[in-house]
Structure 1
């Protein structure tokens, strides 16, 4: 007893450490994982705090909300997490992933670089729903999944699938695919979106499939009708032309150099008939660089609209289907984001952001802004970034109502019906609409529920019809 009493503080600590090691080694009790979690606990990535915050296995390359799950693509693996609490559901070794479908009908396509084929997984369970061992490219949309396989370099087949389907909806011949074995969503000839600091390019998730897609193959453009699989056009651009497929039209953009300036002419063709349907001159679509007017870029825009610069320097939004000017900005205004419903504009004095409705060409909301503000439009929210101090703000695109306002240096990674995923490094967190926004209630439907997608349901009242919102799917206008 005297020996035990004489151990002293150091002796007791050593005895306690030996006891803990023995208990851990025998499996009776192991405090070390919990202790390490406490030491390594992450600080909150925003104020107010997020609903949940998790550290993923690697720095995300993309994050997508797929119904009740969050799909996180990393360099060599894909993981799925539960949207409600962030717990991991499954993990898969893969080099790329892409989400198709929407809500609870979503699926996840995964594959390996330089290997043909891919798998279609259920986002909740990770179970393989369909497997393909021939495809060299995959394109994913809210309502369609496309893939292509080639028996020879000049003999390829493009196929369309319902995201959860087991048999192709249609197939079409293409004399090649501009991808090699290049994983998901190889570039097609359409528009390029405006970007913003701290907002991921894929923040809106998969888009609805356009009525027509332009596949570049060996210097030519093959225009495919996504409803039927018909190849409507096989066009070679002229020497001064760049081709783009926007809003159900094939655009021929000519840029010629004269007197030290570039002069632009846009001609829109109906691919079903080959007939010209509209023509605009003097609008710079920012496809050319300053060296000899060579056009190396797709026009800026989104969905069915184009962004151009008028001769007087004002930015304009054009309807790709009929060439109408949907909005012409005031002198000094800067267009930050656009889709075929709304636009976000920074005022000439850089002190305000304006949310505008394109169909009526009117301002729906205004809010203060800094000179380095950025913005992105998604079907469910307009996301705004501010610097000094760093903030992320989500507002309703219809009226500017604040859905979430966060003091955070994190990036906006994905937006869903009821909230968004933000991230910094390996940390990601979920922000539910209403958090930190003076009690604004979340939309009806619950997390991952069947909330209507305004990006799919919006239609100009005068253009509704059985052939598409602007009759772009009709043949010969019938």
Structure 2
């Protein structure tokens, strides 16, 4: 015969006792137990200044002044950069940051609803409301919005981030309702994709000299300094128009003999004269299929484009005058490029070289692990190693290590003083060791 209660009985007695104590308010262990179960692992052990849970998987993260702005699918939040404390939260279907550190604002809106709000990034207080715009673009020095009060008869307005009156308004007929919500795609350049780094990590860029508004099979070229349409281009079926810096590039791709034959012509609005042209230059706007359909914008900065010559070698071209800024060897690859620098992987994939366009030579070199990716932002050159996972931020000018961490988290933002990393529903801040040397 058994000498006492079984282990299962004692376990049941223990559970009943805890439930009774919890329901009577004597002792409740469940919050601590749940906290232990849901406690997040450190994103960057011994490297992060702070780590905090956030409201979900972010669409974008932007560092501006003392604030970190996090955009989700249905809301936007702001956190203090000093300690990661949440400052405010607002419902929104899209959000963007305009302006710089001293005059930054957060622009928010709703899908399928005209208008937007301009918020203070530190408090969430509404500074300005609009009730008519269908599309908004946010830049480091301006806000552009598009409104179409008479169907296809639209107008584009430019605002200073803190402005209460538009700097200019220009009619843009024929656009219709093709463009909507926050930062809809325009025919310009796109950044190179980098695993481990979000496409928006560099933050808002400066307002370009020219922008192209697509609609009704045409592209209207707007001079943003003067606030006027300076040219309207209608590309043929085998052409793609991209606005790069102060030039309008027309890329033609003709299918022949089972391959694509490319040519590029750069025009200067408003005169419309051709400034330079190149046969055989492939800006990688299409896959080499049978129809040569051009469905992508060129890769590059706001005045630099990445191309491939007829022999398959990469080259970087100044859009303003067509100069070769760098011409690579077969097997080299450009991992990242902006207006100032390019990060280039060697043929043996073991060396990363930074090319300075202003100096016309190599800025620095460092070893590179197989499978690593790289990205460029105004404040840091970023290298993400896959195995073992590591993120390194370097000075774009000197290659000095600003910060590094063993982590598989994604870099969502690079600011003047540090990086924001996101893993799951947690966000961490990595401060630089020294001030950035841009």
TM class by smaller structure = over 0.9
Residues 278-297 of structure 1: matches in 2 within 5 Å?
278-289=276-287, 290-297=289-296
Q: CA deviation at 1:9?
A: 12
Q: How many residues align?
A: 428
- Whether the 8 Å CA contact 1:432–1:442 is kept in 2: the answer is no
Pairing 1:405–2:404 present: yes
Question: Comparing both structures, which one devotes a greater share of its residues to strand?
Answer: 2
Residues 352-391 of structure 1: matches in 2 within 5 Å?
352-391=351-390
Q: CA deviation at 1:178?
A: 6.4
- Whether the 8 Å CA contact 2:151–2:176 is kept in 1: the answer is no
Pairing 1:248–2:281 present: no
Q: 1:57 maps to what in 2?
A: 55
Q: CA deviation at 1:104?
A: 2.7
Distance change in 2, residues 1:12/1:156 (3 Å): closer
Give distance in 2, aligned partners of 1:18 and 1:97.
48
Q: CA deviation at 1:399?
A: 1.2
Which has the larger displacement, 389-398 or 295-304? 295-304
Q: CA deviation at 1:31?
A: 7.4
Give distance in 1, aligned partners of 2:13 and 2:316.
78
What SS class does the counterpart of residue 227 from structure 2 fall into? coil
Select the residue among 174, 190, 209 that pairs with 2:172: 174
- Whether the 8 Å CA contact 1:114–1:181 is kept in 2: the answer is no
Q: 2:3 maps to what in 1?
A: none
Q: CA deviation at 1:370?
A: 1.9
Deviations 1:64-110 (A, max 9, x none): 11211111111211111111111100011111100001113110001
- Whether the 8 Å CA contact 2:143–2:160 is kept in 1: the answer is yes
Select the residue among 270, 275, 278 that pairs with 1:277: 275
Give distance in 1, aligned partners of 2:153 and 2:77.
35
Give distance in 2, aligned partners of 1:433 and 1:21.
49
Pairing 1:338–2:337 present: yes
Deviations 1:405-445 (A, max 9, x none): 111110000000000100111111000012xxxxxx345xx
Distance change in 2, residues 1:82/1:406 (3 Å): same
Select the residue among 176, 186, 189 that pairs with 1:188: 186
Select the residue among 213, 231, 234 that pairs with 1:233: 231
Pairing 1:299–2:283 present: no
Distance change in 2, residues 1:181/1:336 (3 Å): closer
Which has the larger displacement, 270-279 or 389-398? 270-279
Distance change in 2, residues 1:166/1:33 (3 Å): farther
Q: 1:316 maps to what in 2?
A: 315
Q: CA deviation at 1:10?
A: 10
Deviations 1:358-386 (A, max 9, x none): 23331111111122111110000001111
Deviations 1:40-80 (A, max 9, x none): 22110123341111111111111111211111111211111
Deviations 1:261-309 (A, max 9, x none): 3222211111121111111111111112222222222112121111100
Deviations 1:326-356 (A, max 9, x none): 1111221010000010000111001111111
Q: CA deviation at 1:152?
A: 2.2
Which has the larger displacement, 152-161 or 128-137? 152-161
Residues 84-99 of structure 1: matches in 2 within 5 Å?
84-99=82-97
Deviations 1:162-196 (A, max 9, x none): 01111100001112446547310011111121101
Structure 1, unmatched stretches of 5+, are 1-7, 435-440, 444-451, 455-478
Deviations 1:202-247 (A, max 9, x none): 0000001110001111110100011121100011113422111111
Give distance in 2, aligned partners of 1:178 and 1:190.
20
Give distance in 2, aligned partners of 1:9 and 1:287.
67
- Whether the 8 Å CA contact 2:353–2:365 is kept in 1: the answer is yes
Q: CA deviation at 1:122?
A: 0.3
Deviations 1:10-41 (A, max 9, x none): 999988875665458xxxx9876566434422
Q: CA deviation at 1:249?
A: 0.7
RMSD, aligned CA: 2.2
- Whether the 8 Å CA contact 1:148–1:177 is kept in 2: the answer is no
Pairing 1:102–2:100 present: yes
Give distance in 1, aligned partners of 2:76 and 2:293.
40
Distance change in 2, residues 1:376/1:35 (3 Å): same
Give distance in 2, aligned partners of 1:178 and 1:330.
45
- Whether the 8 Å CA contact 1:115–1:181 is kept in 2: the answer is no
What SS class does the counterpart of residue 37 from structure 1 fall into? helix
